[in-house]
Structure 1
Amino acid sequence: MTALLVAGFVGLFSETALNIALGNLSQLFNVNATTVQWLATGYFLTLGILVPVTGVLMQKFTTRQMFMTSIFLSLIGTVVAAVAPVFSVLLLGRIIQAAGLAINLPLTQNVIFTIYPPNKRGGAMGVMGLVMLAGPALGPTLAGLILDTLSWQWIFWVTIPFLLFSLIFGVIYLPNVNEIRKVSIDKLSVILSTIGFGGIVYGVSSAGSAGWASPIVIGTIIIGFIALAIFAIRQTKMENPMLNLKAFNYPLFVLGVIMSFITFFNMLSMLVILPLYMQMALLIAAFTTGLVLLPGSLLNCILAPMIGRLFDKYGPKAVITPGTILVAISYFIYAQFGVDTALWMIVLNHVVMMLGVGAVLASVQTNTLNSLPKQYYPDGIALTQTIQQVAGAIGIAVMVSLLAARQNSYLATVANEPAQAAAMGSSLVFQIGLGLAVVNVVLSLFMKKPNLNE
């Protein structure tokens, strides 16, 4: 487990760490803001395309084979990105990195749900939740420190020792735990899945630069949904589908998927919007912004395993509902922020937010997959991981475009005050986040412990 978790942390750290350097990279490689944004968009796009395929690969190859492939892809991608002489090579490195993470995340969850009984999974998923939150949350902070003292290449070089440790530890200790089946990979299903998830992620990610009314944006999103519809129909008619959609026959699984979508939509967009608010409305430096967000991230890391044990002891509702309430309260307070908000208020509120997210994130995932029979674990994991990545990509694209639209409207119709305009745009986004958080509070009331006894 240690090898998988360390590799997962590196992958999720890499997912957000480079965001803080996009401005510098745009100038260094002489590309515009839209082009350089593909270093982030390409990462999400690769995850959205490859994670669904991992579900069937986990049934075809051993745990160790999947792990080794994941680590080698991560190492190759990291080195390629670190030595990149031109932008296209850097983008290629990012895509290879993401391919490694696309294997790691579903594989880690599958190992947890295979080796731990239902009454112990909360604690194990709590540790995984620590990794899932710590990686993207600490990425900007540590990357800011690296940029202040070294060069952007060290954002990649610094992860190499951790990947090598993961490789060595995994070779020595990681067992084969998954059940190998004679499954064939349906090429048409792979193509439809790629077009479907890839089209949706590409469309919403392009909306920030091209606009939501752009024919390319509308066209790719529509094509994506059509491809997914055909993909779903094909899976239901196949004897051995690439993804077994019978998981959606379980109400608690569907409930958990909806809550996970909202949680990732809000969480990943908040990790982008909150730094933008601090830098544009409060005029705080990037590294200081990272330090402001650090206490909440560290507290979440400390408490994540304990939250998992509470889930095992008291059940899902006792952990998830209070967590959703904390998230809703935090969004309400965020929505009141302006150009004069004190930093200590942001620190305190972010601590509350991350505590709530930590209580919801891993607990919802654990209960969602606990609701499935064991034979559906690979499919359920692939489905939930894919939906989470798509939710994050959509959340970032939608919230950033809404912030920009409100900001531009204020500048054009009210006053030429960029800081106030940024605060108004951020407030709108936080209000929308509050609405979604309240929906999660209501949904959490229907959460209960599954009756399955594997």
Structure 2
Amino acid sequence: MGLSRKQIMMLAVLMFGTFVTVLNQTVVTPALPSVMTEMSVDAATAQWLTTGFTLVNAIMIPITAYLTDRYSTRNLFVVAMGIFTAGSLLAGWGPSFPVLLAGRLLQAAGAGILMPMVMTVLMLTFPVDKRGSAMGLFGVVIAFAPAIGPTVAGLIIDNASWHDMFFIIAGLSALVIACSLFVLERTSAPDKQTSLDKPSVVSSSLGFGCLLYGFSVIGSYGISVQAAIATVVGIVALVYFFRRQLKMENPMLQVRVLLNRKFLIGTIIGMLVQASLLAAGILLPIYLQSLMGYSATVSGLVILPGAIVMGAMGPIAGRLFDKHGPRVLSLVGLSMLTITTFAMAFLGDGTGIAYLTILYTVRLFSLSLVNMPITTWAMNALDNTLINHGTSVNNTFRQVAGSLGTAVLVSIMTIATNAGSSSMDYVHANIFGINMAFAAAGILCVVGLGLTIAFVKDKPGETAKTDVDNARRSVLESIMKRDVYVLDADATVIDAMKLLVDKHISAAPLVDNAGNAVGFVSDGDIMRHLSKRSQMYVDPVVMIMQMGRDSTDFDDKLRDLMQMQAKDIGAKGIIGVDIHADLPEVCRVLGENHLKKVPVLDDGHIVGVINRSDVTQYSMKSYLESEQPA
């Protein structure tokens, strides 16, 4: 990576701290059945360990922006990890459920500060040319930790107890704090002028908290005066919170971005998906451990393949989004999510582990096709000046939806279980309740699918609607190269080679008769077909896999290759940027797809090419001009 020894040590501490906190988010679900048994609480009460954690995380998102401005990054990192460690110790001790829940909420407060903090430290500490390597490793940690969390937790619970699981997390957190004191540097000075709007913090915390509590109590025990009062207080507090944000010049949460219809629809779809996702993480361990008698380890292993697939699909989904746009991916993803969610509403006492593992894995795969495209589509609808606010609002609302949705679905499970207990035994009544909860989650997915069909479009030219006065277009037109060399869609490989050699270029897009880009062929595609490739085949006699080396003569391979069509060896479809895209979007497409250049499209037609060097030179020139004295 070309990092110094101190930078490597700093990156290691940051990644280790992030790993511990992200791991902590998923270790609780396999422990829920054990907690319910030891503390004699029902699922509606136990789910607060997950929904309460998520809710506090959501509340901390807008507060963290103030904290990062007010305090130095190293001090805030140490304090955040300290709060997280204290919460872990309290949860590990946990003699009663209220104490355990208090520990989880403390963990959430620390973790809620930590994640944005780590991003800030990385961006301020590492130079621009090394941030890519640092962020790449950081992304691997974020994807890997939640994947192994349930399995690790299951092993600890089966061989020790859930108390020991929290103590281990506390020990790892303390180690992070000790290392950070020696490794991390103060990367920013405190801004004493920064202020926090305390009424907004109180009203948002009170509103979301009371609403969550009211829904949980009503679902578990029916309508009561206590639950009704909590719900009303929550609604009133949230109305006050939103009205205050709309009146403030610098609100804690810029809810005005919800006036943008595309952003609002994208946020709602994301909220529905998040509610369905988190609820399944609670319902499945209860079904496997409490009802079917499987160990916590088995419960974690059922979840593991899906979590790995979801983490691995992140960059792949980004590449597919760049090729096909949001509509196709989100429609496919939400359709699969709806089908698999309804399929989980038919669990029985004889459902096999293999079937359940495959079903859950496909379900998480479908989620990976929805999350990134919908979020990107929603963000692209906002003006550049509102992107940061949009990210904060989107993340906050998704976290809140996860908490409220889980509370509602677990309440549905409780109501259905109680209704079925009069005619069924304990196990079958609870399975019926879980099935009804998954059926309700399926309905949420249907609503999300309907919104996607009606509103999520990727028609050419949509980006232009957010490009006020063609400002973005003017920037791209000023730095892109207009001399674009293209190939006919039916061109042969020899035609492609002639163009690449004559024009001294490394790749060229393929266009149809209407001038639309339909593919891409590069010198790398040609090299791959000329190389000596190893092939795998099955020996029909001994029925084992064998490796065979391609021994075809180079001249013969070259002769055969020249007669092929370029579209048969090149990439299907094309990754490009809209003429109205902003520079951050151009950088994202270039970086995530590891490209040196990317075509610029206007209504599907190629009008130019933009290189990495073009963006770099423009950025340097703009910066130097802005630094010149007036």
Q: TM-score surpassing 0.5?
A: yes
Q: Equivalences for 1:2-401 in 2 at 5 Å?
A: 7-22=17-32, 24-25=34-35, 32-33=41-42, 38-61=48-71, 66-83=76-93, 89-107=99-117, 131=142, 135=146, 138-160=148-170, 163=173, 168=179, 182-211=193-222, 213-279=223-289, 282-401=292-411
Q: Paired residue for 1:426?
A: 434
- Any conservation in 1 of the 2:341–2:442 contact (CA below 8 Å)? yes
The partner residue of 1:439 within 434, 442, 447 is: 447
Residue 49 of structure 1 aligns to a residue whose secondary structure is: helix
CA distance in 2: counterparts of 1:130 and 1:314, whole angstroms? 28
Residue 420 of structure 1 aligns to a residue whose secondary structure is: helix
Q: What do residues 180-203 of structure 1 show as CA deviations (whole Å, max 9, x unaligned)?
A: 795421222222122112222222
- Would you tell me which structure has more strand in proportion to its own residues? 2
- Any conservation in 2 of the 1:106–1:382 contact (CA below 8 Å)? no
Q: Paired residue for 2:490?
A: none
Compute the TM-score of the two structures, normalised by the length of structure 2: 0.61
Taking a change above 3 Å as real, the CA distance of residues 255 and 269 of structure 1, as seen in their structure-2 partners, is same
Offset of residue 419 of structure 1? 3.1
- Any conservation in 1 of the 2:78–2:180 contact (CA below 8 Å)? no
Taking a change above 3 Å as real, the CA distance of residues 326 and 109 of structure 1, as seen in their structure-2 partners, is farther
Which has the higher mean CA deviation after the structures are superposed, 272-281 or 225-234? 272-281
Offset of residue 426 of structure 1? 2.5
Q: Paired residue for 2:500?
A: none
Taking a change above 3 Å as real, the CA distance of residues 339 and 89 of structure 1, as seen in their structure-2 partners, is closer
CA distance in 2: counterparts of 1:281 and 1:162, whole angstroms? 33
Offset of residue 361 of structure 1? 2.3
Which has the higher mean CA deviation after the structures are superposed, 265-274 or 219-228? 219-228
Q: What do residues 186-241 of structure 1 show as CA deviations (whole Å, max 9, x unaligned)?
A: 22222212211222222223345443x12222221221121111111112112222
Structure with higher RCO (Cα < 8 A, 6+ apart)? 1
Q: CA RMSD in A?
A: 3.9
Residue identity opposite 1:296 in structure 2? G
- Any conservation in 1 of the 2:154–2:299 contact (CA below 8 Å)? no
> Which structure has the greater CA radius of gyration?
2
Residue 347 of structure 2 aligns to a residue whose secondary structure is: coil
CA distance in 2: counterparts of 1:371 and 1:170, whole angstroms? 42
- Structure 1: which 5+ runs fail to align? none
Offset of residue 83 of structure 1? 4.8
Q: Percent identity?
A: 30
Residue 411 of structure 2 aligns to a residue whose secondary structure is: helix
Q: What do residues 72-109 of structure 1 show as CA deviations (whole Å, max 9, x unaligned)?
A: 32233223433556666544432221101222345567
CA distance in 2: counterparts of 1:27 and 1:350, whole angstroms? 25
- Any conservation in 2 of the 1:311–1:319 contact (CA below 8 Å)? yes
Residue identity opposite 2:213 in structure 1? Y
- Any conservation in 1 of the 2:416–2:436 contact (CA below 8 Å)? yes
Offset of residue 244 of structure 1? 1.8
Residue identity opposite 2:274 in structure 1? F
Taking a change above 3 Å as real, the CA distance of residues 441 and 22 of structure 1, as seen in their structure-2 partners, is closer
Offset of residue 25 of structure 1? 4.7
- Any conservation in 2 of the 1:18–1:140 contact (CA below 8 Å)? yes
CA distance in 2: counterparts of 1:262 and 1:170, whole angstroms? 41
- Structure 2: which 5+ runs fail to align? 1-10, 464-579, 585-630
Which has the higher mean CA deviation after the structures are superposed, 381-390 or 281-290? 281-290
Q: What do residues 255-278 of structure 1 show as CA deviations (whole Å, max 9, x unaligned)?
A: 221011101110001111223333
Q: What do residues 415-443 of structure 1 show as CA deviations (whole Å, max 9, x unaligned)?
A: 33333323332322222222221222233
Q: What do residues 393-433 of structure 1 show as CA deviations (whole Å, max 9, x unaligned)?
A: 22221111212222222221xx3333332333232222222
Residue 445 of structure 2 aligns to a residue whose secondary structure is: helix
Taking a change above 3 Å as real, the CA distance of residues 416 and 236 of structure 1, as seen in their structure-2 partners, is closer
CA distance in 1: counterparts of 2:437 and 2:99, whole angstroms? 35
Which has the higher mean CA deviation after the structures are superposed, 364-373 or 343-352? 364-373
